[in-house]
Structure 1
Amino acid sequence: LAFGPTEWGFRLPSGLAAVAWCYATWHFARERFGPDAALTALAVAATTLGPLIIGRAATADALLNLLLALTLFDAWRHLESGRRAPLLRSFLWMGLGALTKGPIALLVPGAVTLLYCASRGQWKRWLQSIADPVGWGLFLLLVVPWYAAALKIHGQLFIDGFILRHNVERFSGTLEGHGGSVAYYLVAVPLLLMPWTGPLVAALGRLRQDLGTGVRRFLWIWAAFVIAFFSLSGTKLPHYVLYGCTPLFLLIAAHRWAPSRAWAHWIAPVALLALYALLPWILALLSASTAGDAYSRAQLGRALSAVSPVYFLATAAALVVWLAVIRALQLPIWHKLALAGALQALTLVAIVVPYAGELAQGPVKRAGLKLREAGEPVTLLSYTAPSFSVYRQAVTPRRQPEPGGLAVTRIDRLPEIGYEILSVEGGVAIIRRQMP
C-alpha cells in the first residue's frame, strides 16, 4: 500500500518473503548442520533458478513457501525436543499460510509430519501434536475472521473460487491448459535447482544412509511428499514443487563435500549460462514453429527485435567468466558452484528477466499506458491480463464493451465481425466495437 498499485509495490512482498525464506533456511541449517553448511544452504536458496524467479513474481507463492518452511522447521523442532513453543508457532504459521493460499498450508505440514511419525512408529505422538487445543485456537483466531469476512462479502463466489477452483479443481483436473505427465516434476526439480543440479544428484546417492538420521529422514520425506502429491495433480505448474525444494537446499548443503568428478557438476552451470546467451534465437525459432498458440507465437515473434547488443555481450561474458573460473581457480567444488550461482543470479536478474519481461508484458504494458492516457472506458475481451489494470491504473472488467467502446484482446481471439482493429503489437490487439 505504501508504494501504491505499481509493479514495484506488487513485487516487493515477494522479494521480502524470499529474503526471509533464505534467512529461515540458513537459521535452521546452522542449528542442525553447523555454520559452514548453513552458508551453503543460504547460497543454494538464494541462487537457484526457482526461488530467484518466484521471489520476483507478483504472486503469493514466495510468501507461501516462506510460511511452509517456517511451519515445518518448527514442526521438526517440536518433534526433536518435545517443546510446545515450536508446535504453537507452527500453528501460527499454518494459519498465515491458510490466509495466503488456502488448505495447502495445512495439507503439506500435516502429511509430512504424519509420514515421518508413521515411519518411526510414533502415531500417538503425531495425534497428540495435531490435537493441541491452544494451537488450534491460535489457528482459528487468525483464519476465521478473514474467511468469515470474505464469505460475507463474496458469498458463494469465495467458496467456488478460492476453495474449490483454486484447490480442489486444480488437483482433480487440468485448469487453463497447465497439464503434464506423472514424470513432470522429476524433470522440473533438477531444472528449478540449477545450477545446483549436480550436488542434488550427489545428495540422492546418500539417501539410504540419510534415512537413519532423524532430521535428514524428515527432510527427504518432506521433499518426496510434495513431489509425489503434485505429480498426481491434474494441474501442473513448475512453482508448485518449490514447496518441497526447501529440504533439498538443506540436503545439498549437508552433503556439500560429497560431490566427486568435478566435470559432472560443471554441466548444469554451463548449460544454464549458454541457454541465456542463446535464448533470443531459441525463442525466435519457437515463434516460427507450430508450438503453442498464435498469441504466444506472436509474443515470441519479437524475440530478436526486442533484444539489445548489451544482452548478447553480457550473457556471453557470463559464460566466459564461468569457464575461466572452472579452469583458473583452485577451489572446492561447492565453492565454485556458489560462484556459478551468484553469476547466474546476477545475469538472470539484471539481463534475462528484463528481456523476458519485455517479451511477455511489453505489449500489455504499452497498451495499458496508452489507454490510460486516452481516458475512455476499456474492457478485456476474452483475455486474462491482470497486469493491464496495473499499467492502466484502473480495474478493467472482463466483458464485451459497449457499442463504440474500447477493448483489449488476444490476436487469436479477435471477433470476426463488429469490431475495428486499432493497433496490434505482438499478440495484443486494441479494438473498438462498432456502433450499430
Structure 2
Amino acid sequence: MEKRLKIALFLAIAINFFFTLHLTPLFNLDEGAFSEATREMLKNHDFITTYLNGALRFDKPILIYWFQALSVTIFGLNEFALRLPSALAATFWAFGIYWFAKKIFDEKIGVLSAFFMVTALQIGLIAKAAIADALLNMFIAFSMFSLYLYIQNQNKKYLYFTFAFIGFGFLTKGPVAVLIPLATFFIYSLIKKDFKFFLKTTFDLKGIVLFLIIALPWYIAEYTAQGDKFIKGFFLKHNIDRFETSLEKHKGSLFYYIPVILIGMLPWTSLLLKYLTKLKNYLKEQNDFFLFGSIWFFFVFIFFSLSGTKLPHYVIYGYTPVFIFMGVAFKELKSEFLYSLPLILFVLALLILPSFALNLTKNKEAVIAIKTIMPLFNIWYYISLGAVLILSLLKLGKENKTIILGFSMVFILNYVGWIYAHARAIPVKQAAIFAKKHNIKNVYLETNLPSFSVYFDKITPRKKAKKGEVALIKSKNTKGYKVLFKKGLVALGVKE
C-alpha cells in the first residue's frame, strides 16, 4: 500500500503543482502585483527595490522576486515561469513533511502526511500561485523541523539549519518567519520548565551570525537605497500596522479562521476533527512532537485570529504539523462514509450552487461574474462532479478511498478554478492582448488589476483617465467611456 501511496503522491505533485501551472491567467490582486513587480525588476535591472506600476512596493522582501526573475529569464514572461518558484517550494515542502514525519513516526505516516498536504484545497491554491506564501511556508516548516530535532538531540547542525531557514524566511516575508519559531519554542520551553535552554539556544552567537549573513545584506541595501521610506513602508505599515489594524479592508471576526480551516483542509476535514477530538490523548503520548506541533498550530491560529488584518492564507503557516497529525489519526478512522462526508457535502454544494447563485446576491459585480461563467456550468460540469460524488460514496477501503479523495480534490480545484478565471482573470489578459494588438500606447488602471500590466508588458499607472485617454475599468462602470473591449468584469474604454 505504501508503494501505491508513494506513486499517488508523486502524481498528485506533478498534476496539482506543475501540469496545471499555465491553466489560468494570473489572478488579481496578489498574483498580478507580484508578477508585475518582477517584470519591472527585470525591465529596470534593479534587483534591490521592487516597484508596482512605477510606484515603490514595500509589501514583501526580495527573495520571491529574485526566484521569479530567474525563472522568467529562463522560461520567458508567462504564467508557468512566474508560478514555477511556488510549485518548486511546495514540492520541497511536501518532501520535507514526508522526511520529517518518517523520521519521528514511520514511513506510512510520512507518505500520508505529504499526500494530505499536496491534495488539500488551500495548499493547491498557494502551491501554484505567483506569490510568496509557498516559499515562506517551506522555510517555516524546515526551520521548525530543524528546531524540534535540535531540541531532541542537541546536534548543532540542526540548530544552524534552524537559523539559516529562519534567515531565508525573513528574506521572503519578514518578521513572521522569526515570530512563529520563536513563539512556539518559548511556549514549549515554559511548559517544559526549561527556560535556560530556550535562552541558550535563541542567543547562540554562531546561529545569529548565520541568520544575519543570510538576511541582513538585502535589508541594508534597501535601506541605503530608500531610507526611512523602507522602514515606514515595510516594517511599520506592512507588519506592525497589519497586525494592529485592518489593511486594505481585509478584516474579519475573531472566528474568521474557523470556516477557513474547515474548508481549506478539504477533503481531509474529518481527519482534522479527529486530531482535535483526540488532542488530549495525543498530548499524553511519549512523542514530544504532539506538544511542539500543537503549540505551533494553535499559536498561529490564535495570533492571526487576534490580528487586525485577516487573510485566508495566514493560517496556513500553522498547517504543517496538522498534516502530520492527520497521518497519525488516519489509523483511528472507522467510518469510510464520515471520512468522505466533507468532500461529499462540498461536491453537493458545487452541484446545487449554479441553480441558486443569482438569487444569493444583489451585488452588481457578483451578478456579472455569475452570468459570465454560467454557460460553463454545462452537462460536463454535472457529469464530472457527479462522478466524483459517486466515487466518494463507494466503499473502497480506507487506503483506496484516500487516493480517490485526494485526486478528486485536485480535479475539483483545477476545474472550478478554470471556470472562475473566466469572470475576471481571462478577460483581463484578453483586454491587455487587445490593447497590444491595437497599438494602444498608454492605458490607465481605474480598477486595481495589476496583471493587466504583465500582459500589456508596460506600466499602467493607477489614475483616473482624462478625456481621450484609455483606461481599464469595471464593466459595470462604462458610462462616460467609448467602450473598446468588454468581457466579464472588465472593459477597456476611451474617456469621453
TM-score w.r.t. length of structure 1: 0.91
Measure, in 1, the Cα distance between the counterparts of 2:430 and 2:229: 32
Match for 1:364 among 412, 428, 444?
428
Question: What corresponds to 2:35 in structure 1?
Answer: none
Partner of 2:218: 146
- Structure 1 pair 319–37 and aligned structure 2 pair: CA distance change class (3 A): same
Superposition deviation, residue 155 in structure 1: 3.6
Distance 1:222 1:388, change over 3 A: same
Does the Cα contact within 8 Å between 1:21 and 1:69 map onto a contact in 2?
Answer: yes
Question: Are 2:139 and 2:166, in contact at CA under 8 Å, matched by a contact in 1?
Answer: yes
**Against the structure 1 CA distance between its residues 310 and 165, is the aligned structure 2 distance closer, same or farther, given a 3 Å change threshold?**
farther
1:433 is matched with 495
1:355 corresponds to 2:419:
yes
* 1:20 equivalent in structure 2: 92
- TM-score w.r.t. the length of structure 2 is 0.80
Give the 5 Å matches for 1:237-252: 237-252=311-326
How far apart, in 2, do the equivalents of 1:121 and 1:390 lie?
Answer: 53
Aligned to 1:229: 303
Which of residues 338, 349, 355 in structure 2 aligns to 1:264? Answer: 338
Q: Deviations over 1:305-347 (max 9, x none)?
A: 3445433322222222222xx23x2x13x54233211222133
- CA shift for structure 1 position 222: 0.5
Q: Could you list the per-position Cα deviations for residues 222-278 of structure 1 after superposition, in whole angstroms to 9, with x for gaps in the alignment?
A: 100000001001111111111111110001111211223443222102122333434
Structure-2 change in CA distance of 1:5 and 1:284 (3 Å): farther
Q: Which moved more, 1:71-80 or 1:263-272?
A: 263-272
Cα-to-partner distance string for 1:119-152 (whole Å, 9 max, x where unaligned):
1011111111110111111111111211122223
- What runs of 5+ residues in structure 2 fail to find an aligned partner? 1-71
Q: Secondary structure at the match of 1:408?
A: strand
CA-CA distance at 1:282 after TM superposition = 5.1
Answer yes or no: is 1:322 the counterpart of 2:387: no
Aligned to 1:89, which of 138, 142, 161? 161
Give the equivalent residue in structure 1 for 2:410.
345
| Structure 1 stretch displaced more, 300-309 or 56-65 | 300-309
What residue is the counterpart of 2:251 in the other structure? Answer: 179
Q: CA deviation at 1:413?
A: 5.8
Amino acid of the residue matched to residue 491 of structure 2? Answer: A
Counterpart of 1:254 in structure 2 is: 328
- Report the secondary structure of 2:344's partner residue: helix
On the 8 A contact 1:273/1:344 being kept in 2, the answer is no
Q: 1:219 aligns with which of 293, 298, 318?
A: 293
Residue 112 (1) aligns with residue 184 (2): yes
The secondary structure found in structure 2 opposite 1:430 is strand
Aligned: 1:80 with 2:152: yes
- Could you tell me which runs of 5 or more consecutive residues in structure 1 were left unpaired when the two chains were aligned: none
Q: Deviations over 1:67-118 (max 9, x none)?
A: 1100101010111111111111111111111111111111111111111111
Aligned-residue offset at 1:279: 4.8
What letter is aligned with 1:244?
A: G
Letter in structure 2 aligned against 1:243: Y
1:411 Cα offset (Å): 4.1
- Choose which of 88, 106, 110 in structure 2 pairs with 1:34: 106
Equivalent in the alignment of 1:304 = 374
The one-letter amino acid of 1:426's match is: G
Does residue 121 in structure 1 map to residue 190 in structure 2? Answer: no
Secondary structure of the corresponding residue to residue 270 of structure 1: helix
Indicate the residue corresponding to 2:401 in structure 1.
Answer: 336
Distance 2:456 2:354 in 1: 29
**Among the aligned pairs, what percent are the same residue?**
31
SS in 1 for 2:171: helix
Aligned partner of 1:199 in structure 2 is 271
